[in-house]
Structure 1
Amino acid sequence: MRVPYKVNLPSGDRYAFIKNTLGTRELHTVCEEAHCPNVSECWESGTATFMILGSNCSRGCRFCAVTHGNMLPLDPDEPEKVYESAKLMGLDYIVITSVDRDDLLDKGSSAFANVIKMVKELKIKIEVLIPDFSGNHEDIDRIIAAKPDVIAHNIETVQRLTPLVRDPRAGYNQTLAVLEYIKKKDHSIITKSSIMVGLGETDIEVEKTMKDLRNAGVDILTIGQYLRPTKKQLEVKEYSPMSRFKYFEEAGYKMGFSFVASGPLVRTSYKAAEGYVKMRGKYD
């Protein structure tokens, strides 16, 4: 099946500088690990997404290109490395995400919180895209207490397809529970989630997922086309037309989301800063 969407190859002085900076510090970005099509656009605009807790994930979701298994020790210098890199890059908005670390007692939440606290010294806006920490409130509380500006956690797909698409440890209802808990614990934190289409879901199922997210208090929603990273991942069932994305965008605003980014190449961190600005009037 031919991909109908086109994106320019990564380029630009700032893109090259950021790529070199990351390489010299042995840091990882989900932009590269997950083969994001927007990497050049985001990096050139002053936004980058760092992936912490190593490059190997303890889970094996069937849509994801990130390496899983063979878990390595945490890097004790990671908070300083992220801080120095963000400072050198002159970032205006940073997104921090991580692999899942089910092998660790606290699922890596303490290390995650330490990175947030360190980067906060730069006085830039911080968005985090967190794992579910198996729904453990104590681990989630560490992230909330670190006070990022936005906390994102992705539901990824509709309920029916969750067992096929996501790792068995990543449940649909667990994701909703995590998002709802964050909003109830600290209403000032902006919450965010993302849905992929093209895996065989119906419009009705997508709309139900959107309503479930809104009922969980989610403020920002992104919807994008699933693009198969390699032949090891799930096949694309359908490439959605722009009209479908436009329909979901309009439906999302009607449901009460404060910002909706919906399009073929939209990913969780795409236009992250713009989504924050849309919400800022309520919280700043």
Structure 2
Amino acid sequence: MPRIPGRAYIETMQKPEWLKVSLQTNTDFTGIRRRMRAGNLHTVCEEARCPNIHECWAEHRTATFMILGDTCTRRCRFCSVKTGLPRELDWSEPRKVALAVQEMELEHAVITMVNRDELPDGGSMMMANTVRAIKQLSPSTSVEVLASDMMGDRDSIANLMEAKAEIMSHNIETVARLTPMVRSRSTYERSLAFLRIAGELDPSAIIKSSVMVGLGETEPELHQAMDDLLENGVRMMNIGQYLQPTKAQLAVQKYYHPDEFAALRETALAKGFLQVHAGPLVRSSYHAGEDYSSYRKAVHPLGRDPELRNTL
């Protein structure tokens, strides 16, 4: 039966062996969950039903904080985060997140957000304040920001860049052709513009983006997306398998084999990316701290050996 663009389908494809996830629930896992509940904090790990939550929480003691509430003003067809009219802002949220980062003794903190299109600044100042609060309480912690497109508003993007997070990330999510079907109130060109503007505003920042595969894209389209990201200043890229979070979202069109992810990674590195993480369970913030450390080694004046990129 042909599929109608924009309509969600119940997933019928059986998941392959390499997508099985090992569940780990130890004291680190329960401790992080308890800390989030105590601070009334949200994580994209839970809200977006990330398959790596047990590994990240139990083994790596990392979590991606999701600020500005748990309700998004957009309804992207790949995402299970709640959609609707958001609640009022919690102006104490930046300090709450910073205290959690301090208590967890994180070396690398990832902060993401729901879309808040009803706010004049898109929520950029709240995110910037969160970065500043973390750096005040935990000066040695590096911070990665995964932001919305801020509707392409340069002033809002400037708010984010002035906070001086080590990594500024915004995901194009998919290839140009599929963007209207996959994403809500977003455009491929606006996402590229966000990444370009971020790099222009702070040339010292690391610019990062991520792409999902398995939504019906072609190999040439993926290669074009890589070229587009490079042309707009991106040097770190994650590539992961799309997994249908619930029956309400788009169905998987293809499961990529690990060998295919390895080939995509090699292609991206050959094109000029300095850091590429690709695999079936890779997500935007998957092993983010390790990736940041590897990137720093790759661009350090004493580590500019071209062969180094192949070991990242």
Q: Please, what TM-score do these two structures have when normalized by structure 2?
A: 0.88
| Match for residue 23 of structure 1 among 22, 37, 52 | 37
Q: 2: distance between equivalents of 1:64 and 1:132?
A: 16
> In the TM superposition, what is the alpha-carbon distance from 1:86 to its structure 2 partner?
1.1
- Which is worse superposed, 222-231 or 270-279? 270-279
Asked if 1:51 is matched to 2:66, the reply is yes
Give 3-state SS (helix, strand or coil) of 2:200's partner. helix
Q: 2: distance between equivalents of 1:26 and 1:198?
A: 34
Give 3-state SS (helix, strand or coil) of 1:47's partner. coil
1:76 corresponding residue in structure 2? 91
> In the TM superposition, what is the alpha-carbon distance from 1:41 to its structure 2 partner?
2.1
The number of residue pairs the alignment matches comes to: 283
Q: Deviations over 1:244-274 (max 9, x none)?
A: 1011000011011111010000000001112
> In the TM superposition, what is the alpha-carbon distance from 1:183 to its structure 2 partner?
1.1
Gap change, CA 1:73 and 1:10, over 3 Å in 2: farther
Q: 1: distance between equivalents of 2:231 and 2:24?
A: 38
1:200 corresponding residue in structure 2? 216
Query: Highest Rg: 1 or 2?
Result: 2
After TM superposition, list the pairs within 5 Å mapping 1:165-204 onto structure 2.
165-167=182-184, 169-204=185-220
Q: 2: distance between equivalents of 1:181 and 1:151?
A: 11
User: Do the aligned partners of 2:72 and 2:116 also contact (CA within 8 Å) in 1?
Assistant: yes
Amino acid at match of 2:85: N
Q: 2: distance between equivalents of 1:184 and 1:42?
A: 33
Stretches (4+) displaced over 6 A = none
After TM superposition, list the pairs within 5 Å mapping 1:220-231 onto structure 2.
220-231=236-247
2:131 corresponding residue in structure 1? 116
User: Do the aligned partners of 1:48 and 1:91 also contact (CA within 8 Å) in 2?
Assistant: no
2:56 corresponding residue in structure 1? 42
Q: 1: distance between equivalents of 2:134 and 2:156?
A: 19
Q: 2: distance between equivalents of 1:45 and 1:241?
A: 25
Q: 2: distance between equivalents of 1:86 and 1:61?
A: 29
Q: Deviations over 1:200-239 (max 9, x none)?
A: 0011111110111011110110000000000000011111
Q: 2: distance between equivalents of 1:97 and 1:127?
A: 8
1:91 corresponding residue in structure 2? 106
Unaligned segments of structure 2, at least 5 residues: 1-12, 302-312
After TM superposition, list the pairs within 5 Å mapping 1:132-281 onto structure 2.
132-167=149-184, 169-281=185-297
Q: Deviations over 1:44-88 (max 9, x none)?
A: 313221000000000010000000112110111101110111111
User: Do the aligned partners of 1:34 and 1:64 also contact (CA within 8 Å) in 2?
Assistant: yes
Percent of aligned positions that are identical: 46
> In the TM superposition, what is the alpha-carbon distance from 1:40 to its structure 2 partner?
2.3
User: Do the aligned partners of 2:23 and 2:55 also contact (CA within 8 Å) in 1?
Assistant: no
Q: 2: distance between equivalents of 1:119 and 1:208?
A: 36
Asked if 1:127 is matched to 2:144, the reply is yes
Amino acid at match of 2:86: M
Asked if 1:3 is matched to 2:15, the reply is yes
Q: 2: distance between equivalents of 1:276 and 1:262?
A: 15
1:104 corresponding residue in structure 2? 119
Q: 1: distance between equivalents of 2:277 and 2:212?
A: 12
Q: Deviations over 1:64-120 (max 9, x none)?
A: 000011211011110111011111112111100000000111111111111111011
Q: Deviations over 1:7-36 (max 9, x none)?
A: 112412211100100011110000111111
Give 3-state SS (helix, strand or coil) of 2:63's partner. strand
Give 3-state SS (helix, strand or coil) of 1:55's partner. coil
Root-mean-square deviation over aligned CA pairs:
1.2
Q: Please, what TM-score do these two structures have when normalized by structure 1?
A: 0.97
User: Do the aligned partners of 1:258 and 1:278 also contact (CA within 8 Å) in 2?
Assistant: no
Q: 1: distance between equivalents of 2:53 and 2:101?
A: 16
1:63 corresponding residue in structure 2? 78
- Which is worse superposed, 136-145 or 71-80? 71-80
